[in-house]
Structure 1
Amino acid sequence: MEQEHSAPQRPQNECSTRSSSADLRNTPCTRGVGEPVCQLLWHLEECNHLLFPIGYQLIDQEDDDVGELRLVLHPQQDVMRHCESFILSGVHARKAIELFQSLCAVHRCVTLVELDYKIAMSKPLLSAIQGGVGVKRVHVYDFHDITWYYPALNHVVLSLVSTMEHVDELVFRKRHQGSISIVPLSSFSLNGAVATTLKRLDVADVNLGDSEVTKLITLLMGNDTMTDLAVGTSVCTFAGSKTSLGFADYLAKAKNTLRSLTLRSVGFCSAPYLARLVHTICKMTALQELVVDMVPCGREGTDIFAKVVGRSTSLRHLTVVLPPWWDRCMLNDVYQDPDGRFRSVRRWLAVLPHTDTLETLTLDMMGFLQDECRMLFLALSENSSIWKVTVHRLLEWGSIECACRVIRACDLAERVVISNHNVSPNSLSKLPTCPEVKAVTVYSHWFQTTLCDIRVAIGTLATCGHLRSLQMHLFDDALSNYVLTTLASCLVAPNRLSDVEVNLHIRLYNPLHGLQCARECPLIRAVSCNPNLNRITLRQFQLSEVDCQLLTDALRRSTNLHGLVLSGDNSGRFLQLLAPMALKNYTLLYVSLSTTDDSDDEMKILVEVTRRNRSLISRAARFVLGENRSPYCAAAIEFVSRHPRLVQVVMHKAAVGEERARKMIQRALESISSMDSFMMVVRVVKDHVECVRQPDGSTQLDQLNYDCWLHVRQYLKVADVLHDCEPVP
């Protein structure tokens, strides 16, 4: 019955007519201690309709407290042409800016604002952010672009965040994580009130010169509120000088307050300094989460961080990985002595069986040989506190087969996840006998021999019924209609795939390039016919009209497909077909299209639908976990109880397996199924339903037996019971 009811786009009641911009500007904030949900949530759709011309969206996020809102940059901002000129003129842009100013000035529920260099060029928007009554978190995107292309805006942005008295979270991020800023920033200084109020600071994507690092460490030394810190190469490798303190000195000072630390480095530091850094981290008494994403230094490399597991009494979550571009040749250059490599691996073997505080571990196992893999998983089997282990890059000969064998023998399948295994000709033949491998990536240029070409690899993958995720990179020399047809046959065969990504690295002169535009692609028909897929990613495809229609029909039918990434010619036509039916879709959570067509109206619909659906998932998860039992959250679970993403969120937050998460969701649904529980959650009654008896003895509502009530209940949802909300002035 889920499809037959309107979606709960409002927590209680939403006006039947769209509010005007003047009405929305005059809507007061009703969020308080007794009522965490502001009436603004009644009008998110109207707000986003008006904010669209300036590239903003008002959303609620599952990581935030219930009722908190974010003003975030449009997810398609980098491909939307109008965002470049929104600050110039126009009636729609002016109304959007006025609403933005009102949201910041009036609403305490708006607690986070994002900005980039385009927003930094608008004085009205910057002034609104600076005066935001509830804004306590600011996220700045592509700060290096601001400095590089618009040097004058560097000071403007830093002055803005430095003068905001209530900001306790400041994040500088890149939209495209693969890019590295080689040139250090010439100026980066945070002063004023923000220096003493910050609780979270993320500068991991910012490359700073030594003088700017010194200023940042001085700021950190004067801060006593920081609990969450992420730094990049220039900071975490800074050992200090005769006149300035190093990063390790700050960590020693913050040992009783810092709870989360991220070290992301693409540069080398001296082995003695790295040892000092690790020694300092071992002594931190409040640290619960440590993320290490850095190149190996010294004889032990990143394995030296195993010391933290053995010595820390507070660490709950540890991630130690190498940069994605780091390969086996680079690793061999660092570890020229095999015996030295084994000695460093033994650090993990010594500490993992004995830690009783660590709960999750993510480890990059590049370079681990077969025996080392076996010993590591045996060590994990002796531990009872670690409930989830994620391992990356089991690439050495025999490693993947050995790992799966030990996982099976030690009953670790529920605890160990092998993340996205890169399939090589050496490991391909072993893959069908490794059911513990759920996700694989295949590069066609690895399969160019006569005995093992890409078609042989695809044929082997078709026999692996245990795979859940497949990522395929097909390069120009391997591209042909025959290869695409073979891959399509693999995808339509009986399988358990839920995530498919196909990247075509195709040149213009390839004959396939022109043929794709003219006729149906067998690969697109294959993914469109698979009802089990949760996510589809197709890059550099030339879509025909038939292809666009096939994908649209797949989204209309599927109750699982919640993520779609599509780049290539004619994706604008697909958007035109998708938009009219998107409002009835309660599954889609993320859509990314490369369209540059004049399709703002269609994109606006899609952005709002995905925002609404993500909100439903967030609210439903709160209800399942017992965090919030209000009608606002209860209404959501009835629309997304079967959504695969809801299961994932519950698994993550409750630290349980898939089966347990599904049972928790079912129990939450059953908790509002009876007459009394339903009437209580919609706030019609306080304790139970009791009707006045009629003189004629006719049957009253509270006299219905349970089966009769369930028959009524299947046509009734929490969102159907309307409540009065404050009239908009």
Structure 2
Amino acid sequence: MEERGGPLKSMENPTPCPASTKPKKEEDPYRIPVHLNIACTKCDGACCQLLQHRRSLNEVLRDIGLEICEDTTCDDGIRIAVVEDNGRGYAFNSLHASHITALNIVQFLLTEHGCITAVEVNRIMRHHESLLKALRLNGTVESVLISGMDAKRTPEDVAAFKVVKSISQLKRLTLDTSRCLPLCANMRLYGQLLRGATRQLRSLDVAAAEMSPKQAKRLIGALRRSKTVEHLVVGENVFTIGKQGSGRTFAEYLVNTDTLRTLRLTSKPDFSNEDAIRTLVVALCQARTLVEVKVDLDLKMVGFAARVSLFAQVVAENTVLRRLRLPSVKCSCAHSWLNRVALDPPDPDSADKMVPWLGAVRKNTTLRDLEIDLGGFGEPECRDFFEAVADNSALHSVVVRRLPTDCPMAGICETIRKRGIADRVLIRNHHVNPVDLSALPECPEVTGLVVSGRHFAGNSDQLCAAFKTLAQCSHVTSLSVHCWGFAKGMYDSFIACLRATKTLEQIEVRMVDIVDELTDEEQVDLDTQLIEAAASIPSLVDANFKGILKYSQNCAPFAGAVAAKRGRLTRLQITLAYQSNPAFAKLYTPQELAHSSIIKCKEGTNYKSELAAVQEVTARNSNNVSAAARYVLDQPDSDDGARVIEDLHDHPWLVRRVRRQAEVDVGEAKMKIARALKRVRSCSIDEYMRLAGVVKRRVESGQGEGRVDVHIADINLYCWLHIRSFLKVSDVVRA
């Protein structure tokens, strides 16, 4: 593809910013459509209007796995982001006209739009030199994410890394492999970071990068010299660096840094380096600037309680840490090679390992949020733990990733209920099993559940009974279902459960198998029924479906559902099935299976417009939640939040955001939201009209001799508040 010359003149914005008035050269054969050739209007303090055209732009950009959205790290900034779809971001063997148009649009945005402040670079971008040049010459991009690399060293990957390192204004760099095909799920460092143009980085995420010990030592040395890095994410190849994997080199950096505020550590499955954990704990106890630590280590179940108990020392001794997330262990139902799951018993010495936690939790006065996995402890230890939580009024939130699975949970929930800490404790991912199924309706403290066919060993009667029980549990707001070994009757029970529930806010479904007794067409129809049932849930705000056979049939139900309840749904992800699913493999040719973009094209263009419509509304809803939170917290420029607070005051994401930003418990967060809602609902006519965008300051009555008509400004406060009870700010449509 030839490099574009000057920009095309916008037909929708005839008076563009001075930066967009370069002389125009001859257009290339695949010119940008007129309705997408939008000039940047970000100048003299004005915001760019690019996002008003988000839907039409994203319909084109999705063909190369990209989209535009708000940059949450920068006020008024816009991000070119990788779409959350499986099978995107690869380099095409042959480019269609739509692909070239999308590439031209990306280059146009990078060249002409000063509002672009963040870019996520996928594989197709790395394979086009003109896009890399446009990124290098851009003067406003402050955040870059590199999404995956090829399996072997390639000139394109090296060139892309070199370009990113040359961006002098770069503040945030992330190396990511979570949204790549397995072919591209690789990441390497080419050269050194925190030198030259990257010397001013504030945020660095290299957890996905492969590094030799020598590279890791160089990185830690650069971190020691850096006076700007505030947010850091590293993997075990960095934090275990030291003699015999002790982690002392990284620990010395943690103890001596004066700038680091947030730290996240990750590991590969079954991490077992206890020496590194002990070294890390000692360093975290002495860290002077860290306010948030996420220790996302995937530990082995054997000895899990002992390893988690080491972090009690951090809670007991660190006096500045405010948020802490502890290691966890994956439930055995996550292992695909197991046909059935044995319940994990608590560690034999779990009672002794809980003792340090009881003292640490009661003693600490600065920690506000704690996330912990209690799967390695028994019921008595869990009850003692929640007794300690109840004795600490400073601890606003305790998220429990997992409760013990081999003992009834009723006693644990009873302790939470009796001590009055249900608004501070969130049990998020309890794995449902036959042992505690009957007690579930009597345990309103459990709000998040995981249902896997492996926990029921394929027992159809037990699993169907579980879904019938779930349909009666109005306290369950989050549900994750792994459809391993599901037969037709199990799917029918699951679908009936979804149609019956009215309180579910978040759902994740992983469809990994096909039903043997169904034809391919019946299997596709089953997927559609599942999607339609989920789309009918009135309270749903977050939906994630993995393993769906067809996009086009399954985007339409959600498009209609979103149109019906525009203010609720804030996230939707639908991912195609893998080739290992025989039903999916039969629907397409080998060539189509090799390139999922061909599958999307084969299904027609309707899916693009439907999915773009859904993504547009979910993005807008998510932004409205953020705006409402700013209004609740009395932050500057929060008038947009006042417009939507009446619609979103009971949105779960709003409560979560206010609680986190204000560092309060759920009850106080709800009180703050209620006060903000009352402030809007009791505002005067002048304030209402200003928030609605009708006037700039106040409403004035028309003056004239002999005037006898009544204007809105003449209505007294009592009448106005009565009218106001039927009228929301958002009811006034802005031009």
TM range (shorter): 0.7 to 0.9
Q: Is the 8 A contact 1:462 1:493 kept in 2?
A: yes
Residues 1:252 and 1:547: Cα distance change in structure 2 (over 3 Å): closer
Q: Residue 572 of structure 1 corresponds to which residue in structure 2?
A: none
Which residue number corresponds to residue 727 of structure 1?
A: none
Instruction: Show structure 1 runs of 5+ residues with no match.
Output: 1-13, 570-591, 723-729
Contact residue 58 and residue 66 of structure 2 kept, 8 A: yes
The superposition leaves residues 73-93 of structure 1 with CA deviations (integer Å, 9 ceiling, x where unpaired) of: 234473488977669997624
Shift of the alpha carbon at 1:429? 2.6
Q: 1:192 aligns with which of 191, 195, 210?
A: 195
Alignment match, 1:579: none
Structure 2, gaps ≥5 residues long = 1-11, 17-31, 578-596
User: Is the CA contact (8 Å cut-off) linking 2:298 and 2:330 kept in structure 1?
Assistant: no
Question: Which residue of 2 is the match for residue 485 of structure 1?
Answer: 492
Residue 262 of structure 1 pairs with residue 271 of structure 2: no
* 1:29 correspondence with 2:42: yes
Alignment check: 8 A CA contact 1:84 1:118 kept: no
Of structures 1 and 2, the one scoring higher in RCO (CA 8 A, sep 6+) is 1
Q: Residues 29 and 40 of structure 1 are in contact (CA less than 8 Å); yes or no, is this contact kept in structure 2?
A: no
| TM-score normalised by length of structure 1 | 0.79
CA shift in 2, pair 1:645/1:31, >3 Å: farther
Whole-Å separation in 1 of the counterparts to 2:290 and 2:41: 40
Question: Does residue 366 of structure 1 match 2:375?
Answer: yes
Q: Distance in 2 between matches of 1:182 and 1:715?
A: 48
CA contact (8 A) 2:402 2:431 kept: yes
Whole-Å separation in 1 of the counterparts to 2:552 and 2:80: 36
Distance, in Å, in 2 between the alignment partners of 1:550 and 1:614 is: 20
Is the CA contact (8 Å cut-off) linking 1:77 and 1:83 kept in structure 2? no
1:696 correspondence with 2:706: yes
- Does the alignment pair 1:674 with 2:684? yes
Match of 1:417 in 2: 426
633, 636, 643: which one pairs with 1:628?
A: 636
| Separation (CA, whole Å) in 1 of partners of 2:441 and 2:648 | 34
Greater shift, 609-618 or 387-396, is seen at 609-618
Q: Which amino acid aligns with 1:653?
A: Q
> Residues 275-294 of structure 1 correspond to what in structure 2 (within 5 A)?
275-294=278-297
Deviations 1:241-264 (A, max 9, x none): 89x98211221221x321111111
Secondary structure in structure 2 of the residue aligned to 1:427:
coil
Equivalent residues of 1:53, 1:96 under 8 A apart: no
What do residues 108-143 of structure 1 show as CA deviations (whole Å, max 9, x unaligned)? x4321111222111222112222222211111112x
In structure 1, distance between residues paired with 2:221 and 2:527? 61
Are positions 1:466 and 2:475 aligned together? Answer: yes
1:530 and 1:621 map into 2 onto residues whose CA distance is 25
The CA distance in 1 between the partners of 2:76 and 2:402, in whole Å, is 40
Which amino acid letter does the alignment assign opposite residue 197 of structure 1? Q
Deviation of 1:502 after TM superposition, in Å, equals 4.0
Choose from 478, 493, 513 the match for 1:506.
513
**1:8-407 mapped onto 2 (5 Å cutoff):** 26-30=39-43, 32=45, 37-38=47-48, 40=50, 44=54, 48=58, 54-61=64-71, 63-76=72-85, 78-79=87-88, 92-93=101-102, 95-103=104-112, 107=114, 109-142=115-148, 145-146=149-150, 148-149=151-152, 151-176=154-179, 185=188, 187=190, 189-190=192-193, 192-240=195-243, 246-254=249-257, 256-266=258-268, 268=271, 270-296=273-299, 300-324=306-330, 338-339=348-349, 341-398=350-407, 400-407=409-416
Tell which deviates more after alignment, 555-564 or 305-314: 555-564
Larger mean Cα displacement after TM superposition, 150-159 or 535-544: 535-544
CA RMSD of aligned residues (A): 4.4
Q: Which stretch shows the higher mean deviation, 368-377 or 523-532? A: 523-532
From 553, 557, 560, the equivalent of 2:564 is: 557
Percent identical pairs in the alignment equals 26
Equivalent of residue 531 in structure 1, options 525, 538, 555: 538
For the structure 1 residues 56 and 443, does the alpha-carbon distance in structure 2 shift closer, same or farther, using more than 3 Å as the test?
closer
3-state DSSP of counterpart to 2:372:
strand
Describe the shift of the 1:268–1:55 C-alpha distance in structure 2 as closer, same or farther (beyond 3 A): closer
Instruction: Specify the SS of the correspondent of 1:100.
Output: helix
CA distance in 1, matches of 2:734, 2:528: 47
The structure-2 alpha-carbon separation of the partners of 1:166 and 1:369, relative to structure 1 and needing over 3 Å to count, comes to same
- Deviation per CA, 1:431-457: give whole Å up to 9, x if none: 232221112112223324879632333
Letter paired with 1:357: T
Partner of 2:581: none
Residue identity matched to 2:629? A
Instruction: From the superposition, tell whether residues 170 and 511 of structure 1 become closer, same or farther in structure 2 (CA, over 3 Å).
Output: same
Q: CA deviation at 1:471?
A: 2.6
CA contact 2:291–2:322 (8 Å) conserved in 1: yes
Residue 70 of structure 1: how far off its partner (Å): 1.7
Contact in 2 for aligned 1:361/1:389 (Cα 8 Å): yes
Letter in 2 for 1:306: A
Aligned counterparts of 1:491 and 1:391: Cα–Cα separation in 2: 25
The 3-state SS of whatever aligns with 1:166 is coil
SS at match of 1:78: coil
Aligned partner of residue 140 in structure 1, secondary structure: strand
Which residue does 1:496 correspond to in 2?
503
Could you list the per-position Cα deviations for residues 253-278 of structure 1 after superposition, in whole angstroms to 9, with x for gaps in the alignment?
21x32111111122646544432222
The Cα shift of 1:181 comes to 10
- In structure 1, the residue matched to 2:590 is none
Q: Distance in 1 between matches of 2:553 and 2:59?
A: 31
Q: CA deviation at 1:336?
A: 11
Q: Label 1:608 to 1:396 Cα distance change in 2 as closer, same or farther (>3 A).
A: closer
Matches of residues 555-704 of structure 1 in structure 2 within 5 Å? 555-558=562-565, 560-566=568-574, 595=600, 597-599=603-605, 600-629=608-637, 634-635=642-643, 637=645, 645-654=653-662, 655=664, 656-657=666-667, 659-660=670-671, 662-664=673-675, 666-667=677-678, 669-670=680-681, 673-681=683-691, 688-691=698-701, 693-698=703-708, 699-704=710-715
Q: Distance in 2 between matches of 1:322 and 1:377?
A: 18
Map of 2:5 onto structure 1: none
Q: Which amino acid aligns with 2:40?
A: T
2:264 match: secondary structure = strand
Say if 2:60 and 2:101, in contact at 8 Å, map to a contact too. yes
Which range moves more in the overlay, 649-658 or 76-85? 76-85
Q: Is the 8 A contact 1:358 1:386 kept in 2?
A: yes
Aligned pair count?
A: 669
Match of 1:581 in 2: none
Contact 1:319 1:363 in 2 (8 A): yes
